[in-house]
Structure formats: C-alpha cells, structure tokens
Structure 1
Amino acid sequence: MRRGHRPSVAPAGRPRLWGRHAVAAAFANPERTVRKIWGTREALAGFGGLPTDVTVQFAEVTDLGRMVPADAPHQGVVIEVDPLPDIWLGDLLEQGRDDRRPLVVLDQVTDPHNVGAVLRSAAAFDALGLITQDRHAPPESGTLARSASGALEIVPWVRVVNLARALDEIGEAGFWRIGLSGAGKRPLGEALGTARVALVLGAEGEGMRQNTESHCDELARLPISPRVESLNVSNAAAIALYAAAART
C-alpha cells in the first residue's frame, strides 16, 4: 500500500474490525468469514499464523488510520469480514435447555460501545446469549468489536423483529424474565431465585419501554446508593450477570 493512499471503502454490509483481540477472535471463529487483511509487518507477525485463503496487504500505520474512525486504536491490523450468520432464537433456547446460563435481553440499546461491553460481560460470566431487537441495536462494527474485546465472536447474538414476542418465547422455554428497573419491588438478589433467568435491560436514561416491562415476570432493582440515580447499562448488565453466576 503506497504512503498516502486511501484504502477503498468496505462493500456495503461488510464491517471492518481492528485491534489485536478483536482480530484474533475473528481468526479463531469458524463461523466468521474474513475477506481481507491489512496490517503492518510487525503486527501481522504477532499472530503466528494468518488465514491462508485471504488476501493480505502490508500497510503503514498512517494508512491503517484512514481505514478506521479517528483515533481508533487499530494496533497495526484491520480486517474486512462478512457479518456473522443469523442465529434463531428457538435454536439458542434449545441449545440451552439443560443448563442454567442466563440470557441477556437489551431493549433499544443502540450505542455500540455499550453493546460491546455487555457482550464482554456476557462472555466473562458465560451467558447463554444476547437478544436484541434488530432495528434498534447497532450493527456489527469495528467499534463494537473493539469494545467487546473478542466476545462478539464468542457470545451468540440473536436479533429479533419483535422483542415482546421474543420474551414470550423465552418465558415459554422456562426462563424467569427479570427486568432491571429502579421501580422494582425487590432487589435483584432476591428476585433471582434458582430458575433459569433472562435479564432484561433498557437503554440508559429512558429504560425499558412499557411494553417490554409488561412481558417480564418481575421487575427488580440493583441496590445502588441513592446518591446515584442509575448505572450505565453495561455496568448494570455486568453486576446482574455476576449476581446470576454467583447463585448457590
């Protein structure tokens, strides 16, 4: 790649991922199709081995910087990929029929940093998967993958057309659907019980929509100090996932 040359824009629907963790996780994911790799010689050498059927183009740091958002920490490598294959909710529920791993459901959380951070926590606490509404969630992107630090390739992410219907299906599969809300009558620790749980969280500020709340079995609150009105949705998800994982 010549100095000063601006790389071509990725074709519509093909995200570009960057950063060592996100790229290494993409290479390791058999469900991920990598179309092209750009990187410095030093950064690419650090991966040990690259996919053999993918075009590799050596680039300078300044060239890579033009391929990602301003000041994005690309760490010397950028890849172009196909979006991951769709996952059906029914298939995910069937896979998790015999275990107690929690589900995470996000209601209109659109910030890719938040969704990426939730995916990272979901991976850390071995959640069964993430459920979002297709039209009100961010697409796969380098920003989201970077925030997820590899978890985008690990945690099943189901996008549904209608979140209320999805919650009905989740309930029919035997999950106790707990919506996190400051208006909850019980703290989350008491609401968790021993059943399989789906943790439902709304967008920061607006919270869950009323229709989403009505499809939960219970609303529960996190026992935070009254000096703080609320937590960022990704922080709340991490705490809730820890509480679910720590049940005896």
Structure 2
Amino acid sequence: MSSNKILFGFHAVTVRLKTHPKSISEIHVDTTRRDQRMKSFVERVKEAGAKLIDSDDERLAKLAGSPRHQGVVARVQPIAMQHSLDGVMEDLEAAGATPLLLVLDGVTDPHNLGACLRVADGAGAHAVIAPKDHAVGLNATVAKVASGAAETVPYLMVTNLARALNELKERDVWIVGTSDRATKSIYDVDLNRPVALVLGAEGDGMRQLTAKTCDELVSIPMLGAVESLNVSVASGVCLYEALRQRKG
C-alpha cells in the first residue's frame, strides 16, 4: 500500500474510474449515504470491477485527511504522466501541437492550484509549471478541487523557474506574464502561437526575476472596485482567450 495515493470526492474518483480503472486499488464509500448520486457511483464502481469497501465518516475523514470527502475515498496507484518539461515539449513537437502552458509563480494554496488545474484541463493547456520552492505540490485536496484534472494535466515543479522559462524561449515559446501595472491588455496580444502564460499569486504577484524573464507583460482589464482576480479566475481568463484566438 505504500505506493498508493489517495483521491477523494465524487469528481476526482469518477475521472480515475473513467480514465484508469485498473489503477484503483480500492474505493471506500459511506454506507449511510443512500442518495441517487451515491447509488449511481456505486454502480459505476461495480461495472469497473474495482474493489468496494463500506466505511463510516470517521474512517473516510482519516483516509482523506479532510472531512470534505463526500463519502468517497479511493486508494490508487500513480499513473504514468510526463514529469519533465523536456518530455512535455518533445511530445508536443512530435505531435505537431502548438504549446499552451500555464506557469504559476508562488501559488501555495491547494484550493487555488486545484482550480487552476481544472481550468487548464478545460482550456486544453498542455502542462502547468511551478517552482519547487514557494509552491504547493499535488495532494489529495488539490486532486479533489481539480475534479480529475490532476490526473490529466502534467504538473511540473522545476528547480529554477527563470531557467525553465529561458529554456522555453529557446524552443520558440513566447512568455507572457500578467501584471496589474502592464499597459497592454491580454486581449491585445497574439496567443495563437506557442505560448506560456505566467501568473503570480494574489497579493505579491510574480517575483521580480520571473517578470523580467517574460517577453511581455499584460494586464486583465478591471472595471470595478476590485483591484485583482483570484489566480484561478485569472488563469481562466487568459487560457480561454488563448483558446478563443486559436479557434477563431
């Protein structure tokens, strides 16, 4: 069991059932839940042939490390996914795809990371990149908030973020950073090309070296009293603008 990881919540576990059912060691469910959502979920588990274990709320909370498990906790084997920037870029080049990358500088909240992964998956981003220091890693909370996207979008933690951005530049990826002080809007730049969108955490924003490494800085128009957006919302604005341009 030492190599197993924990997923919890309906979305995260259902995505794993759909995409990699054989990687599931066992699924614990709350026997006191008899609503239609749980009944449908249990049927899906049985159809997939996964091991089903009846549990109570106390045990589920202990397994998940959180009381917000929704009555569903799974032990799963890690699935193969690219874990290096070079690997991701080589796969994209081989496929003839135009890279769309999300770079997060200083995001330490697992809920924010989970939401960023979810929007990255929805917009078709090829990877999310973050520094190893001052950033949250993948954990059960991230996986739950991501609603399965932690299983589909590579999350690459690099030792030196500025160096990683420069390596992307060498591969002709345009580095676009977001800043409240930028005069150019996200809607004024060409995102229909290999691009990495760089966002910092709320409050501090990007580190100075990260900002200096970007090819250009853009802002998200803010017309009300609020000065900035949550990083996951800002990620959604930027990624979906890139998607709009690419589909236009």
TM-score by length of 2: 0.84
What is the correspondence of 1:12-51 to structure 2 with a 5 Å cutoff? 15-30=5-20, 33-40=23-30, 43=38, 45-49=42-46
Aligned ranges 1:114-193 → 2 under 5 Å? 114-193=112-191
Question: Is 2:12–2:148's contact at 8 Å kept on the other side of the alignment?
Answer: yes
Normalising by the residue count of structure 1, what TM-score does the alignment of the two structures yield?
0.84
Question: Matches of 2:121 and 2:171 in 1, distance apart?
Answer: 22
Equivalent residue of 2:222, what SS? coil
Q: 1:191 to 1:14 in 2, by over 3 A?
A: same
- Aligned residue pairs: how many? 236
Distance 1:70 1:95 in 2: 36
Which residue matches 1:90?
86
8 Å CA contact 1:32–1:83 kept in 2: the answer is no
CA contact (8 A) 1:65 1:71 kept: yes
Q: Does 1:60 align with 2:56?
A: yes
Conserved 8 A contact 2:99-2:193: no
| Conservation of the 8 A alpha-carbon contact between 1:101 and 1:126 | no
Correspondence for 2:74: 79
Residues 68 and 187 (structure 1), Cα distance of their counterparts in 2 relative to 1, 3 Å cut? same
Give RMSD over aligned pairs: 2.5
Query: C-alpha distance in 1, partners of 2:229/2:104?
Result: 15
CA gap 1:200/1:31 in 2 versus in 1, 3 angstroms: farther
Q: Identity over the aligned pairs, expressed in percent?
A: 36
Verify the 8 A CA contact 1:132 1:158 in the aligned structure 2: yes
Normalized per residue, which structure has more helix?
Answer: 2
Aligned 8 A contact 2:161 2:210 in 1: yes
- Residue of structure 2 equivalent to 1:102: 100
